[in-house]
Chain A
């Protein structure tokens, strides 16, 4: 079965700690995305990547970092500089033809909380 796997499902961060959220896809999609969702809110784009070894900042990139060393993987690091990291993080992927007409496929998210 093709899809996107996010891990862990729940994650707790201590003060001053960096944590990394995993996102793996086996859909052979070029584009991958990270979103943050706060309670009762929509999704805000953190970072996205259209191709291996390239990524772009989204609307709320401060305090986050990513890498895209493999097509299948797009890990997100929440750094200690992110002062309000408590949120639901969603990873997505899509075929990206730059036309905006491809659906995004989502993982089931990681819920990050502060200890």
Chain B
């Protein structure tokens, strides 16, 4: 099963509103990353938060991490039409032959209505 689970699966809001997406995971992690995927394109890295960090900002993005609840949230403030995309969290909890590999959740599909 997927390590990361995003919630909600889909979110539709008006331009200018804030959008919040959540990610829960099952086992201990060192890092958690958020990615964006526009329709029919590859993923683009947004932000990485380490297990010893609680909050991180990048422009209009704010990510929080609660390791006690095994959850993270991504907040996009003052949303724009260009923010319409799917957003994925990825955790590094799985170790395969000495190498940590990312495990992606199923994503939240965000639609910003003009």
Contacts and interface: CB of A to CB of B under 8 A. Distances in A.
Interface of A: 4, 6, 33, 35, 40-45, 48, 50, 56, 58, 90, 92, 96, 98-101, 103-109, 111
A99 B30 contact: yes
Given A42-B106, A45-B101, A48-B101, A101 B42 contact: no
Contacts of B78: none
Nearest to A35: B104
A37 to B, nearest CB: 9
A34 B21 CA distance: 26
Interface in B1-40: 2, 4, 30-31, 33, 40
14 contacts: A40-B109, A42-B106, A43-B104, A45-B101, A99-B30, A100-B30, A100-B101, A101-B30, A101-B50, A101-B92, A103-B48, A104-B45, A105-B45, A106-B42
Contacts of A44: 104
Interface residues of B, number: 29
Interface of B: 2, 4, 30-31, 33, 40-45, 48, 50, 88, 90, 92, 96-107, 109
Nearest to B103: A45
- Interface of chain B, helix or strand or loop or mixed? strand
Contacts of A101: 30-31, 48, 50, 92
A100 B42 CA distance: 20
Given A103-B45, A109-B40, A98 B88 contact: no
Contacts of A4: 42
A4 B44 CA distance: 12
B33, B88, B104 pick with most chain A CB within 10 angstroms: B104
B2 A104 contact: no
Nearest to A91: B42
Contacts of A100: 30-31, 92, 100-102
A56, A90, A100 pick with most chain B CB within 10 angstroms: A100
Contacts of A98: 98-100
